[in-house]
Amino acid sequence: MRLRTVTLGQTARCSPSEAVLSSPSEATGTIGNRHIVIIYKSTVPACEWERLTDELERWKLWRRSFATVVFAPERDLVSVLRLDKIRKLYVESQSIIRSTMSQRMQQGQPMIVMSEDSQRVKDKDAQDYNISAARAVAEAVQSTLGPKGMDKMLVDSMGSVTITNDGVTILKEMDIDNPTAEMIIEVAETQEDEAGDGTTTAVAIAGELLKNAEDLLEQDIHPTAIIKGFHLASEQAREEIDDIATDIDTSDEELLRKTAETSMTGKGTEVNKEHLAQLIVEAIRQVTVEDENGDNVVDLEFLNIETQTGRSAGESDLLEGGIVDKDPVHDNMPRSADDADILLLDEAIEVEETDVDTEVSVTDPDQLQKFLDREEKQLREKVDTIADLGADVVFCQKGIDDLAQHYLAKEGILAVRRAKKSDLEFLQEVVGASIVSDLESATEEDLGFGDVTRDEEDELFYVEGEDAHGVTLLLRGSTDHVVDELERGVNDALDVVAQTVSDGRVLAGGGAIEVELAGRLRDYADSVSGREQLAVEAFADSLELVPRVLAGNAGLDSIDTLVDLRAAHDDGDITAGLNVFSGDVEDTFEAGVVEPAHAKEQAVTSAAEAANLVLKIDDIISAGDLSTDKGDDEEGGPGGAPGGMGGMGGGMGGMM
């Protein structure tokens, strides 16, 4: 983007990009191919104002290039004007429409001329547009929900492939180019950050809330009544969840394993989920401490996940300490070291390169020898420093020169180069070291202490600290795609178990909690007056999407399932859920389909907030074209999203 101050009074002669107003403080810039002129109103004398408006009229002819004119109200804005400010003003400028231009001008108010490219959608159209876009996103992930949910294959612009069932991963990987859709993706991201699991549920509920809100809008119920009703319902839902949740004994490993298994189902971990659940519960147990109040605190900092391709997931393992999946740099180095002083180094053991390009002319062999000697000396000194510190093992994040490797081997030091940054960071915790980034200032204090053992079969090092601080979950799978999806599933399960251990409240899954909540919210609706009551009921209906989709994804009849579930809950069976494998309604808590209460609370809350955010919008003003230029035969995306959703995922429409 270009920014310059233009000279005055040359309008007649100059090209549009140089067109000018008689004011000393215009600034023009371009964003893309648009030009922006910012005029500081306070600097334009009243007598000039008319001329200015005339000139603007003329500019309309040049509209293509003079896309935006911003009349900034305050002069001092100019002094802090930066390119990003221009961009911001440009975006802000979209909030004032073309149609009010002349009116505002007469009133002498700050005014903006919008470009012809910009678009505005209002009222009902804006709501329709937003709701369709949000629903399209929700519908895109729904088919992945539950143990029988399918996976999605996402191909990015570079051709790299991700195969996953994880809601947030799908949405992040999809190349979505729609502002409303992005708001819904934020729901998934919040859910991932706060709860680690339940991202598909959160997004699906948000979509369903909007779908039901659409029906209410059709009945002429004002959006603010719907928003209020949704808000009341979500608050009530949180209370009900707390009431329904079962408090568990957090040392009950059997139950913790079930929460892990529930969270992992359908995520490529199916066959080995019992083994993995066992490892996950054990891992969390090892990184849990009690605080002074006797509450469990899970510190995931002490838990590291490593992945290896080549073997099956059933051979995944939990190891004390950390691992470094690298070879020693020299054959003559020791392969293992017990009670070792360990240096974690973030500096290359190489000859220091100069910052500037230099050329050295050598005129006789002695000079060359001297030059080489100097380099050798530098390396020698670095290795000596390491040896003097007393290090037995060096894990170096950068490179190690061949000669330095040789010196290190002679000193009997085990060295590894190009270790992963994340590994070094984890090893800090394991062996109690600090990562050294400048060898010269390193002290013995920076070294850690522990045992380093070589596993020749897997070609990696196990590093165990004195008090075995930290554990590593080593996940294995046959191919990269398998391991990646395994890691996502395991990550969800780790979060779920960690939450269960610290929160202690769990719920019956398989749609049991949603149906129970829906029933209770319908009862609650009776106590809500006005039109909000309808919104609370719509909220209750929306929650039942979960069992319906679980059933649908399992090839069962969703209406029949819902009817059966409601009947069971009406009879007071609050843990009645769907067994997706048999198709029967059963006590899912007993069957081991258990979910943490916190994740469900979060899913309901963030879905409601996102729906309300979307419903509150009655006007969309876009700098560019809201619809895509693609042909009519192009699918707009699932759910009949209007223009804009076509930009989603570049041709992913066919997949969903």
Ligand X SMILES: Nc1ncnc2c1ncn2[C@@H]1O[C@H](COP(=O)(O)OP(=O)(O)OP(=O)(O)O)[C@@H](O)[C@H]1O
Residues that bind Mg ion (CB under 5 A): 197
3-state DSSP assignment of residue 297: strand
Q: Which is nearer to ligand X, 210 or 435 (CB)?
A: 210
H-only helix segments in 310-469:
365-389, 402-410, 421-431
CA dist 529 to 187, 537, 612, Å? 29, 12, 19
Is 596 a binding residue for ligand X by CB under 6 A? The answer is no
Cβ neighbourhood burial of 274 (10 Å; 0-12, 13-18, 19+): middle
According to CB under 6 A, which residues from 524 to 553 bind ligand X?
A: 546, 550
In 10 A of CB 354, how many CB atoms?
Answer: 6
492 flagged as catalytic: yes
Q: Shortest distance, CB of residue 484 to Mg ion, whole angstroms?
A: 16
The pair of structure tokens assigned to 549 is 């989709």
- 392, 401, 446, 492: which is the annotated catalytic residue? 492
Is 200 a binding residue for ligand X by CB under 6 A? The answer is yes
- From the list Mg ion, ligand X, none, pick the one residue 262 interacts with, judged by a Cβ distance below 5 to 8 Å according to partner type: ligand X
Q: Which is nearer to ligand X, 166 or 484 (CB)?
A: 166
Q: Which is nearer to Mg ion, 197 or 347 (CB)?
A: 197
Is 602 a binding residue for ligand X by CB under 6 A? The answer is no
Point out which span in 32-40, 64-72, 146-154, 474-482 binds ligand X (CB under 6 A). 146-154
Rounded Cα–Cα distance for residues 429 and 141 (Å): 38
Is 450 a binding residue for ligand X by CB under 6 A? The answer is no
Q: Which is nearer to ligand X, 513 or 620 (CB)?
A: 513
Answer for the pair 385, 439: CB distance below 8 angstroms, yes or no.
yes
Q: What is the 3-state secondary structure (H, E, C) of 240-291?
A: HHHHHCEECCCCCHHHHHHHHHHHHCCCCCHHHHHHHHHHHHHHHHHCEEEC
Is 578 a binding residue for ligand X by CB under 6 A? The answer is yes
Q: Which is nearer to ligand X, 141 or 345 (CB)?
A: 141
H or E element, residue 462:
strand 460-465
Is 451 a binding residue for ligand X by CB under 6 A? The answer is no
Q: Using the rule CB under 6 A, which residue among 576, 593, 611, 615 binds ligand X?
A: 593
H or E element, residue 471:
strand 471-477
- 169, 180, 200, 262: which is the annotated catalytic residue? 200
The pair of structure tokens assigned to 257 is 């394993």
Rounded Cα–Cα distance for residues 93 and 569 (Å): 54
Q: Using the rule CB under 6 A, which residue among 68, 78, 147, 180 binds ligand X?
A: 147
Q: Shortest distance, CB of residue 606 to Mg ion, whole angstroms?
A: 15
Q: Shortest distance, CB of residue 167 to Mg ion, whole angstroms?
A: 8
- From the list ligand X, Mg ion, none, pick the one residue 550 interacts with, judged by a Cβ distance below 5 to 8 Å according to partner type: ligand X
- From the list ligand X, Mg ion, none, pick the one residue 487 interacts with, judged by a Cβ distance below 5 to 8 Å according to partner type: none
Rounded Cα–Cα distance for residues 631 and 629 (Å): 6
Is 500 a binding residue for ligand X by CB under 6 A? The answer is no
Rounded Cα–Cα distance for residues 307 and 581 (Å): 31
- From the list ligand X, Mg ion, none, pick the one residue 489 interacts with, judged by a Cβ distance below 5 to 8 Å according to partner type: none
Cβ neighbourhood burial of 282 (10 Å; 0-12, 13-18, 19+): middle
199 flagged as catalytic: yes
Q: Using the rule CB under 6 A, which residue among 29, 207, 266, 649 binds ligand X?
A: 266
- From the list ligand X, Mg ion, none, pick the one residue 190 interacts with, judged by a Cβ distance below 5 to 8 Å according to partner type: none
Is 307 a binding residue for ligand X by CB under 6 A? The answer is no
Cβ neighbourhood burial of 618 (10 Å; 0-12, 13-18, 19+): middle
Q: Shortest distance, CB of residue 212 to ligand X, whole angstroms?
A: 19
**Residues interacting with ligand X, by CB under 6 A?**
144-147, 149, 165-168, 197-201, 262, 265-266, 492, 509-510, 546, 550, 578-580, 593, 595
> Which sequence positions are flagged as catalytic?
166, 199-200, 492
